[in-house]
């Protein structure tokens, strides 16, 4: 039998919340049906037992015979009460969100003095929030709208606050649209999802015509992010984003500032891929800052891609001791399925960069690479070690296994092109005679032209050596 929705909702509540729900159900202000509290009590005692509808109904509603329709009506009302409890719970945690409802009620009752008092309290609370989110800009608009309705209803001869209503609405709309444009960019990079975010050109025109809007922190930050990251602005645009983040990051919830850090890091990674090496230090600094502030943890875990990117940047900057400490200290924050394989793989990368090739191979042998990114990462590192050690037979076998894997896994997105180039370039490098300067020059030209090829630097280093293998 399918678990009733009411019982599914109960399962998501903690013990403390179930106690609150019991108080809620026993309060005449919310519920006048005693069987609802009895049904909750039955569930808390018997939640792991098989559900026998007739028996439960008899215990909960002892003075009525069981009818199927009454059972489902009981469950429907119980579900609705639990949902009302969840709404009530949210309202209790959002003091500012309660004020529009209070103001609306007082306005309808024509209690002018009480309305003015509550409006002053709401505006004072809004000022104390100390946050810059678009959500709070909407709250400001909502309050101004309630005040406009109050003036229009009770003081029709007085000037209204309609300008303030529209200004607050503009601020919310612009900030939220810019934020959505940045989130769309993030989703497109991470998951190849694409969405249409409208009115962005109109927003740019408004910001040019009304530069004072940029004094609103949420607009300033998200506009800087939009210009730098989404539109691919120059270094000055990136520095403007960094200044805006530093000035206002304390006023954003952790989730939002984490997204902004990741977007700024994405800008740096793209600049690195274009050959702008100076952005390695920028990205590394952003990662360190967001680590120190706790922004990089998602539900208590550090994403595996973030873990790997931090290690790669640290190695690129020769921060070997820092990377070693990072792997040791943050491995426990990875999701359980990555807590062995990813630290071993990144430790192998560290050993390779330190010239400890045998140690790198030993560590790679312990990596269970079930995920494609780990498989290709481990194989790429093995390729480098085999080439540098002159293990031509092992290298040839590895390239064949890569070819077979790519053939069997066509759905690798944009990563597939990179690994096809890796396979192609490695085959040609392996087959180049030491004296074939012309062939070496041709391969070097192709590698240099492949700007998005992530192993370009290593291949060019091998090709620049005076003699081959």
Instruction: Give the model confidence (pLDDT) of 256-298 as tens digits.
Output: 999 999 999 999 988 887 778 889 999 999 999 999 888 888 8
Say what the pLDDT of residue 309 is: 92
pLDDT score of 323 more than 80: yes
Say what the pLDDT of residue 466 is: 46
pLDDT score of 149 more than 90: yes
pLDDT score of 340 more than 70: yes
- Between the CA atoms of 183, 185, 189 and 194, what dihedral angle is there, to the nearest 10 degrees? 100
Burial of 352 (0-12, 13-18, 19+ CB in 10 A): buried
Alpha helices (runs of H) in 217-298, residue ranges in sequence order = 217-225, 235-248, 254-273, 279-293
Burial of 451 (0-12, 13-18, 19+ CB in 10 A): exposed
Contact 98, 91 (CB under 8 A): yes
Report percent pLDDT > 70 for the chain. Answer: 98
Closest CA to 107 of 74, 76, 145: 145
Say what the pLDDT of residue 414 is: 67
Confidence band, pLDDT 50/70/90 cuts, at residue 190: confident
pLDDT score of 346 more than 80: yes
Contact 122, 143 (CB under 8 A): yes
**Average pLDDT for residues 15-23, to the nearest whole number?**
96
Average pLDDT value over all residues in the chain:
91
**Average pLDDT for residues 90-95, to the nearest whole number?**
92
**Average pLDDT for residues 445-454, to the nearest whole number?**
84
Report percent pLDDT > 90 for the chain. Answer: 74
More confident residue, 228 or 299: 228
SS3 breakdown of the chain: % helix, strand, coil, rounded to 5?
A: 75, 0, 25
pLDDT score of 469 more than 70: no
pLDDT score of 451 more than 80: no
Say what the pLDDT of residue 13 is: 96
Please give the model's pTM, rounded to 2 decimal places.
Answer: 0.80
Say what the pLDDT of residue 296 is: 86
Say what the pLDDT of residue 114 is: 96
Burial of 459 (0-12, 13-18, 19+ CB in 10 A): buried
Confidence band, pLDDT 50/70/90 cuts, at residue 371: confident
Encode pLDDT of 215-237 as tens digits.
Answer: 999 999 999 999 999 999 999 99
Look at the chain and count its residues.
469
Confidence band, pLDDT 50/70/90 cuts, at residue 468: very low
């Amino acid at each position: 039998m399918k678990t009733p929705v009411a019982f599914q909702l109960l399962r998501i509540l903690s013990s403390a919340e179930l106690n609150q729900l019991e108080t809620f159900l026993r309060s005449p202000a919310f519920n006048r049906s005693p069987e609802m509290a009895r049904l909750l009590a039955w569930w808390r005692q018997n939640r792991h037992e098989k559900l026998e509808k007739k028996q439960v109904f008899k215990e909960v509603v002892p003075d009525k015979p069981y009818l199927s329709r009454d059972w489902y009506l009981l469950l429907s009302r119980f579900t609705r009460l639990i949902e009302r409890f969840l709404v009530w719970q949210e309202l209790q945690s959002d003091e500012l969100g309660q004020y529009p409802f209070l103001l609306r009620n007082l306005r309808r009752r024509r209690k002018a003095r009480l309305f003015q008092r509550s409006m002053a309290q709401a505006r004072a609370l809004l000022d104390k929030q100390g946050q810059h989110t678009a959500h709070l800009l909407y709250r400001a608009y909502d309050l101004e709208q309630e005040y406009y309705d109050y003036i229009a209803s009770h003081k029709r001869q007085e000037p209204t606050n309609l300008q303030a209503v529209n200004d607050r609405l503009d601020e919310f709309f612009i900030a939220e649209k810019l934020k959505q444009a940045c989130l769309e960019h993030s989703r497109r990079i991470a998951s190849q999802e694409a969405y249409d975010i409208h009115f962005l050109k109109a927003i740019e025109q408004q910001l040019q015509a009304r530069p004072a809007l940029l004094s609103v922190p949420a607009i300033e930050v998200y506009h800087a992010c939009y210009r730098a990251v989404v539109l691919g602005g120059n270094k000055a645009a990136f520095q403007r984003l960094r200044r805006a983040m530093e000035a206002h990051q304390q006023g954003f919830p952790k989730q939002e500032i984490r997204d902004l850090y990741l977007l700024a890091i994405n800008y740096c990674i793209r600049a690195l891929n274009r050959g702008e090496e100076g952005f390695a230090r920028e990205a590394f600094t952003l990662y360190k800052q967001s680590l120190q502030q706790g922004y990089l943890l998602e539900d208590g875990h550090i994403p595996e891609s973030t873990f790997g990117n931090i290690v790669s940047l640290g190695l690129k900057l020769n921060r070997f001791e820092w990377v070693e400490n990072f792997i040791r200290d943050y491995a426990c924050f990875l999701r359980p399925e990555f807590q062995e394989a990813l630290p071993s793989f990144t430790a192998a990368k560290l050993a390779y960069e330190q010239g400890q090739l045998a140690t790198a191979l030993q560590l790679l042998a312990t990596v269970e690479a079930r995920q494609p990114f780990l498989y290709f990462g481990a194989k790429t590192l093995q390729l480098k070690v085999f080439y540098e050690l002159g293990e031509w037979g092992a290298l040839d076998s590895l390239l064949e296994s890569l070819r077979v894997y790519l053939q069997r896994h066509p759905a690798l997105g944009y990563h597939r092109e990179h690994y096809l180039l890796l396979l192609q370039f490695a085959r040609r490098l392996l087959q180049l005679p030491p004296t074939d300067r012309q062939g070496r020059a041709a391969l070097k030209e192709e590698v240099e032209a492949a700007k998005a090829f992530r192993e370009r630097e290593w291949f060019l280093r091998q090709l620049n050596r005076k003699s081959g293998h």
